[in-house]
Amino acid sequence: MMIRSEESVLITGGTGSLGHALVSKLLKCKFPPKRIIMYSRDEYKQMKMGEEFGHHPHLRFFLGDVRDRERLTKAMADVQYVFHAAALKQVPACEYNPREAVKTNVEGANNVIDACIYQGVKQVVALSSDKAVNPINLYGATKLVAEKLFISGNAMSGKRTRFSVVRYGNVLASRGSVVETFRECMRKDEPVVITDPKMTRFWWTINEAVQFVLDVNKNMIGGEVFLPKIGSSGIMTLVKAVAAMERVKTLKKPIITGIRPGEKMHESLMAPDEVHRTHDLGWAYAIYPSLKFFDMDNRLENKVPSDFVYSSSKEDMRVDDLVFKLETIGK
């Protein structure tokens, strides 16, 4: 559905990279939503964000944690659309603090679902990760469980609230991105630090991610896991792209530390057992649920081939492709 000017939006984890960019996009609409609610724990980031957007009259800042169901329920009063971006995302941190990751990523997801159903929210788009596919780390496992919870939320809502999921890869130059780490090393004339030169990842920009999330909100039926059509590269290709941006003529030999706890060499956006439920929509792939919550018969066409593989190991992005994407960031 299109978000109308008389409707309200709530973004959990709203002061994060995607939430910040989503707010910017919504405020630039000709007729922005009546209220855009930032729901997060960090009062300092909320203060700085309010200043950055000139204390826009459509912006609201709610302090709260997704672990707090009562606070979430109050925050979602008279809200029509929810974008759930709050999560503990750092793989090593989740490995060493598994219970905290479960509290935020799993129990928090369940709280969002319950609050949305109770308040009669129209639509919910939950953000997931490629690490939820065949997970080998705690973060990926929590995101897989969260995906399952959000999809099953359609069965509990009585068709009042509709839930879909967006699953995607790494966002270039987002907070904590390796791009910033590489830039800092190069500006200090130091070698970059990588875990393994053979590692590959999916890459896209924050603007691409925001537009995709809004497209999903507009086109979802309820119960789908949406996958963007994005490219991937080896980590050394990204290093070379950042070097080109920084005008580094001679790259120093990188320091290789070895794979960190819970890391994969390659990521996938689709598990083999999901292929038979995946359809090519042109602008995206959609994995349809095993249980049909709503009428999807008009969408069930253009199935992907049975041997379809969506892995970052395809490495279809060159240095120039990544440089182009990095140059578009902030424009």
Q: Which residues are catalytic?
A: 131
Q: Which tokens in the block code for residue 208?
A: 């691409």
Extended beta strands in 70-221, E state: 81-84, 123-129, 162-168, 170-171, 193-194, 200-204
Which own/partner pairs from 93-98 qualify as long-range (CB within 8 Å, at least 24 positions apart)? 94/137, 94/138, 94/139, 94/142, 94/262, 95/137, 95/138, 95/139, 95/261, 95/262, 96/261, 98/138
What is the C-alpha separation between 37 and 287, in angstroms, rounded? Answer: 29
Q: Determine if residue 116 is left, alpha or beta; phi over 0 gives left, psi from -120 to 50 gives alpha, anything else beta.
A: alpha
Dihedrals phi, psi of 267, to nearest 5 degrees: -110, 155
What is the C-alpha separation between 282 and 97, in angstroms, rounded? Answer: 40
Instruction: Give the relative orientation of helices 17-27 and 206-219 as an angle to the nearest 10 degrees.
Output: 70
CA atoms within 13 A on the CB side of 297: 1
Strand order through the sheet with 231-234: 170-171, 200-204, 231-234
Nearest to 240 by CA among 196, 171, 315, 179: 179
DSSP annotation of 199: -
With beta carbons less than 8 A apart as the criterion, state whether 288 and 303 touch: no
